[in-house]
Structure 1
């Protein structure tokens, strides 16, 4: 399983130029994360700081119990063995073939013989669609192929933490979809902690479990994808929609005159060029291929979301509940859906208040918490908890009137 990465109060500058300040977030162990933000906000700098290539002025980065900001060079060398890194430009050695580039970490950090190395390298070469190109030099192939070779090299040690700096850059939409699927499959297979820096909104909406966003030298927010994707924050909504009307300008700081002129254009019905997608909806997350193991990160992630759902705005709560119900409905209706969806549909989750239920099962049942004070009515599409009047024997669910089992609480209320 991947390890947790805990960042606290991180600040980085180059000379007098502050890049970002007081960044705090935690990449949960084994989950897929994405970091968004306009160009020039320091996303790549953040990745390089996580692996100790850049040293921050303040803050800590705790990885596997070690603060890499304060540790020795020897300790940092050992911590880096946990990482697989896909740099933005591939960062391949120009004088080495793709094969030797991909084999380099195995030769540097393991004692495997050349037969073992060849087996592993060719497996990764095929995985990223470069079979037949392994003897070429980086200068002899396209930028997209170099990116895929860089990803193969990042994966050869089956790392516990994978950092991907814009994995879609230089790739066509179809190859981008394959790379995205590959990252989800890898997470299912080795439960690695993954951080993706991207501008690709489709990746951001469908791949990660958690999303963060940098803007104006600060971390705007970081948390479950469902929270950011339903956020009402103007900068988040503008970035997700790709619209020019909003806080983000051609330069990061949009001046008041430009903002006022654009507001007038927007009021006049002039389009800002953004997508018209409904971002109040949480669209389905990409699932592992059918031959992959259950993605345990998805189960842990759903529990995290359920732990905080009651603290979210009403719109976000509605979107999340609809998303969960849709996932479980798809799992119940089709055996071809991901084993991860089926596992989540059948998993017992702990709900706020101490209630544990076999969520969204096919049979309606009433269960109680350990203390017996809370009752839960379960239906195939959602879980409902509430107090009802003594004579209540029906309830409206999604505009349908359903018969329910009524139980009496110790305080006299019925549910």
Structure 2
């Protein structure tokens, strides 16, 4: 299972330039979180601080019981083995092939034989859809392919904490959907703690369990996705809708004259160019692919949302209940699909323990999973009780050996 990452009173500056101050948040163990915010607010700096590449002026970062802002270089080296990191530009070694780039952490941190290394590397290459490109140099492929190679490298050690700095940048919408699904499937398999920095609103609305937002050098909010997606804070609503009318300007501080001009334009019925999506509705969260174990994070997350529900506005409570009911319905349909495929497989003499894809729904390049996907009974649309996962099949380890 992934480990909890606790940040307390974190402040970071470069010289006289303050990046952010007094950031306090906890990434729950085994859950997927996302960090949003306008460009230039220090989201990438925050990730680098979490792994000790940058040292804060104040505050603590506690990982697996160790404060990495105070620990020795040797302790930090060991803590970093818990991480898999996808940097914004891929951060590949330009003189190494994709294969050697992806194999680097295994050769550096393990004593595996080269044939074991090859099995693991080729598995990860298949996962990110780069089969056949393993001998190419980073300069010979597109930026999107480099990003996927960086993700494969981040996954080779089956890390307990995965940090992804804009995993969608440089990717087309279809590949972005596949990468997002892959992160959910990995979380289901190894219960890793995942933090995604993104500007992609669709990812933010459908992938994470928790969302935070940085703005004007502060953490505006961090908590369950349902809390932020139903927030009435102007900066949150403006960012989600992508509208130019609101607190966020071209520069970080929007001056008063511009703000008054925009208010007059709004009053005249002129639009700010934002999406017209209905953000009062919470889109159901993406679920693991058929054959994957159920995410343990679902139960933990729902318990937390259930406890905070009475303190939310009525419209937010209604949206959350509808979203949970829809997610339960989706899980039931997925379970029924898996049962149907297993019945077909038995009838064809393929054995009773396998899920076989009739429509190519499994992730490209991956082997068909062999574990059935257990789901809870459908929840009533008005209930907010956490689902009971205790009596269902537990996730397999999912690690490569």
TM norm. shorter chain > 0.5: yes
Once the 2 structures are TM-superposed, how far is the Cα of residue 384 of structure 1 from its aligned partner? 9.1
Match of 1:145 in 2: 145
1:319 maps onto 2:324 in alignment = no
Q: Normalising by structure 1, report the TM-score.
A: 0.82
Using a 3 Å threshold, how does the CA distance of structure 1 residues 189 and 259 change in structure 2: closer, same or farther? same
Match of 2:258 in 1: 258
Secondary structure at 1:203 match in 2: helix
Once the 2 structures are TM-superposed, how far is the Cα of residue 102 of structure 1 from its aligned partner? 0.2
Contact 1:84-1:163 within 8 A present in 2 as well = yes
Deviations 1:99-132 (A, max 9, x none): 0000000000000000000000000001000001
Match of 1:211 in 2: 211
Task: Structure 1: give runs of 5+ residues left out of the alignment.
Answer: 347-358, 361-379, 386-415
Match of 2:308 in 1: 308
Structure number with greater CO (CA < 8 Å, separation at least 6) is: 2
Using a 3 Å threshold, how does the CA distance of structure 1 residues 384 and 222 change in structure 2: closer, same or farther? closer
Using a 3 Å threshold, how does the CA distance of structure 1 residues 76 and 152 change in structure 2: closer, same or farther? same
Once the 2 structures are TM-superposed, how far is the Cα of residue 345 of structure 1 from its aligned partner? 3.9
Once the 2 structures are TM-superposed, how far is the Cα of residue 291 of structure 1 from its aligned partner? 1.5
Secondary structure at 1:20 match in 2: strand
Secondary structure at 2:335 match in 1: coil
Contact 2:335-2:375 within 8 A present in 1 as well = no
Once the 2 structures are TM-superposed, how far is the Cα of residue 264 of structure 1 from its aligned partner? 0.8
Within 5 Å, which residues of 2 pair with 1:136-215?
A: 136-215=136-215
Q: Normalising by structure 2, report the TM-score.
A: 0.85
Contact 1:331-1:337 within 8 A present in 2 as well = no
Compare 119-128 and 296-305 and name the one that shifted more: 296-305
Return the structure number with greater strand share. Answer: 1
Deviations 1:164-213 (A, max 9, x none): 00000000111100000000000001100000000000000000000000
Deviations 1:275-311 (A, max 9, x none): 0111111101111000111111112111111111111
Contact 1:212-1:222 within 8 A present in 2 as well = yes
Compare 58-67 and 308-317 and name the one that shifted more: 308-317
Q: CA RMSD, aligned part only?
A: 1.8
For 1:283 and 1:51, how far apart are their aligned partners in 2?
Answer: 32
Once the 2 structures are TM-superposed, how far is the Cα of residue 343 of structure 1 from its aligned partner? 5.8
Within 5 Å, which residues of 2 pair with 1:18-57?
A: 18-57=18-57
1:243 maps onto 2:248 in alignment = no
Contact 1:289-1:338 within 8 A present in 2 as well = no
Once the 2 structures are TM-superposed, how far is the Cα of residue 381 of structure 1 from its aligned partner? 2.7
1:132 maps onto 2:115 in alignment = no
Compare 115-124 and 312-321 and name the one that shifted more: 312-321
Contact 2:285-2:327 within 8 A present in 1 as well = no
Secondary structure at 2:45 match in 1: helix
Match of 2:106 in 1: 106
Using a 3 Å threshold, how does the CA distance of structure 1 residues 243 and 96 change in structure 2: closer, same or farther? same
Contact 2:11-2:20 within 8 A present in 1 as well = yes
Once the 2 structures are TM-superposed, how far is the Cα of residue 62 of structure 1 from its aligned partner? 0.3
Deviations 1:351-384 (A, max 9, x none): xxxxxxxx83xxxxxxxxxxxxxxxxxxx33249
Using a 3 Å threshold, how does the CA distance of structure 1 residues 168 and 383 change in structure 2: closer, same or farther? closer
Using a 3 Å threshold, how does the CA distance of structure 1 residues 337 and 85 change in structure 2: closer, same or farther? farther
Contact 1:86-1:154 within 8 A present in 2 as well = yes
For 2:125 and 2:326, how far apart are their aligned partners in 1?
Answer: 36
Using a 3 Å threshold, how does the CA distance of structure 1 residues 62 and 257 change in structure 2: closer, same or farther? same
For 1:215 and 1:315, how far apart are their aligned partners in 2?
Answer: 25
Contact 1:299-1:344 within 8 A present in 2 as well = no
Contact 2:294-2:375 within 8 A present in 1 as well = no
Secondary structure at 2:301 match in 1: helix
Secondary structure at 1:195 match in 2: strand
Using a 3 Å threshold, how does the CA distance of structure 1 residues 280 and 101 change in structure 2: closer, same or farther? same
For 1:277 and 1:382, how far apart are their aligned partners in 2?
Answer: 24
For 1:239 and 1:163, how far apart are their aligned partners in 2?
Answer: 22
Give the aligned length: 353
Contact 1:30-1:191 within 8 A present in 2 as well = yes
Using a 3 Å threshold, how does the CA distance of structure 1 residues 337 and 215 change in structure 2: closer, same or farther? farther
* Structure showing greater Rg: 1
